[in-house]
Chains A and B, each alone.
Chain A
Amino acid sequence: MTNSITIFKREMISYFYSPIAYIVIAVFLLSSGYFFARILALSQQATLMYSLANTQVILSILAPVITMRLLSEEVKSGTIEMLMTAPVTDFEVVFGKFLAALCLYLVMLAPTLLYVVFLGWVGDPDMGPIISSYIGLALMGAMFVSIGLLMSALTRNQIVAGVLGIVTLVILFYLGFAVSGTDGWYVPILQYVGTYDHWEPFTKGLVDTKDVIYYVSITVLCLFITVRTLESSKWR
Chain B
Amino acid sequence: MIQVEHLSKRFGDKTAVDDISFRVHEGEILGFLGPNGAGKSTTMRILAGFLPATSGTARVAGYDVFTDSLNVRKQIGYLPENVPLYLDMRVNEYLTFRAQLKGVPKKDRRASIQEALEKCGVVEVQNQIVGTLSKGYRQRVGLADTMVHNPKILILDEPTIGLDPNQIRQVRSLIKELGKKHTILLSTHILPEVEMICGRVIIINNGKLVAMDTPGNLTSKLRGGATIHLEAKGPFGRIKACLEGIPAVLSVKGEDESVAPSGARTKTHRFVLETDKGRDVREEVFHAFVENKENKWVLLGMKKEAVTLEEVFHQITTREAEEAAGPLPPAEGPAPKGGIKETVSGLLKRIKA
Contact = CB atoms under 8 A, between A and B. Distances in A.
A85 interface: yes
Interface string A70-83: 00000001111111
A14 B84 contact: no
Interface stretch (B100-108, B160-168, B204-212, B311-319): B100-108
Nearest to B71: A87
B114 to A, nearest CB: 19
B131 to A, nearest CB: 10
Contact-residue bracket for chain A: 20 to 34
B86 A85 contact: no
Given A7-B101, A81-B50, A234-B50, A14 B82 contact: no
B51 A89 contact: no
B88 A81 contact: no
B97 interface: yes
B89 interface: yes
Interface of A: 2-3, 6-7, 9-10, 13-14, 17-18, 77-89, 234-235
B85 A85 contact: no
Interface in B62-115: 70-71, 73-74, 76, 78, 80, 82, 84-89, 93, 97-98, 100-103
Contact of A17 (B50, B80, B88): B88
Contacts of B102: 86-87
Interface residues of B, number: 28
B223 interface: no
A14 B88 contact: yes
Interface of B: 45, 48-52, 70-71, 73-74, 76, 78, 80, 82, 84-89, 93, 97-98, 100-103, 145
A7 B100 CA distance: 9
Contact of B86 (A14, A84, A235): A14
B145 A234 contact: no
Nearest to B69: A87
Interchain residue pairs A-B with the least CB separation, the first 3: A78-B84, A87-B73, A6-B100
Contacts of B80: 78, 81-82, 85
B78 A85 contact: yes
A77 B102 CA distance: 21
Contact of A79 (B49, B51, B85, B100): B85
